[in-house]
Structure 1
Amino acid sequence: MAKGIEIRNAHFPGRAPIDAYGNGGFRFADMSHRGSLLCLPSGIYGWDMTLEDALTPAHFQKVLDEAAGIEVLLVGTGMELRPLPSELRAALRAKQISSDSMNTGAAVRTFNIMLAESRAVAAALIAV
């Protein structure tokens, strides 16, 4: 019996620099992804986050769950800088993760540099 197309959660099992961003998505590792991304030590994941969503600890649970491998979290907040709410900063600090919010383009560039330096960096990138 033939199965139809299987839709799976977006996940790239490795670390890779972001080659391009814009038009609502990203390109990395010879692939493209429409929507936002979490770039974590365990891989790159599709992230159900939009420009309109609040930056809450619940949206960053996957980051908090992988805290052991993360020293710095870069948060790309879209075209404009959005400060991280104190509740989110406190949740990250409790897991000993330093956080920095910036526009998505700056976050992509900074992530790529830190990744090339083999730093314990993660990125939460809202698509623009």
Structure 2
Amino acid sequence: MDLLPRIPADRQVINAYGDGGFRISGRHWTQPVLVFPGQSLPWDIAGISELSVESLEPAFGMEPSVELLLIGCGPSMVFIDKALRADIRARGLVIEALDTGAACRTYNLLMGEGRRVAAALIPV
């Protein structure tokens, strides 16, 4: 029995993280990155303290729409301010804050299941 889902070749898969960067579908990133099933984009943020509705703007207009955005906060999970979380939710996006490693693993799992998931990742 095959336990791994068959992931279409055009999907973004997080192959590795750590050492200040990521390898996503074979491409090396050394900066924060937004990962969607169909593409990865540089994320113009220096650290989790800069998280804002504006910094997540690419996720709001994505087609197909994203139902869950995993926030990889860095080496440890950070609680997201309730007001900011509410503002993001009002724009139609649910966020879940995790440490970056957990966000990477969870993204791959949910994306492999066909969920409309994305990840906003701070390198560790």
Relative to the length of structure 1, the TM-score reads 0.80
CA distance, structure 2, for counterparts of residue 28 and residue 59 of structure 1? 21
Deviation at 1:75, TM superposition (A): 0.3
Structure 1 gap ranges (5+): 1-13
1:54 to partner: Cα distance? 2.3
1:48 deviates by: 1.7
* 1:65 corresponding residue in structure 2: 61
Structure 2 distance, partners of 1:23, 1:49, is 18
SS of the residue aligned with 1:69? Answer: coil
Q: Between 91-100 and 68-77, report the one with greater CA deviation.
A: 91-100
Question: Greater strand percent: which structure?
Answer: 1
Structure number with larger C-alpha Rg: 1
Pairing 1:37-116 to 2, within 5 Å after superposition: 37-51=33-47, 53-66=49-62, 69-116=65-112
Q: State the SS of the aligned residue for 2:107.
A: helix
Name the structure 2 match of 1:25.
21
Counterpart AA for 1:58: E
Q: Which residue of 2 aligns with 1:117?
A: 113
CA shift at 1:67, angstroms?
7.4
Write the mapping of 1:1-16 to structure 2, written as runs, cut at 5 A: 15-16=11-12
Alpha-carbon displacement from aligned partner over 1:25-62 (angstroms, at most 9, x marks no partner): 10021221111110125510011222364221121111
In structure 2, what is the Cα distance between the partners aligned to 1:81 and 1:31?
25
Identity %: 35
Any gaps of 5 or more consecutive residues in structure 2?
1-9
TM-score by length of 2: 0.82
Runs of 4+ in 1 over 6 A off after TM superposition: none
Aligned length: 115
Q: Which digits, 9 at most, give the CA deviation of each residue in 1:52-88, with x for residues without a partner? A: 6422112111112327611111000000111112233
Which residue of structure 2 aligns with residue 9 of structure 1? none
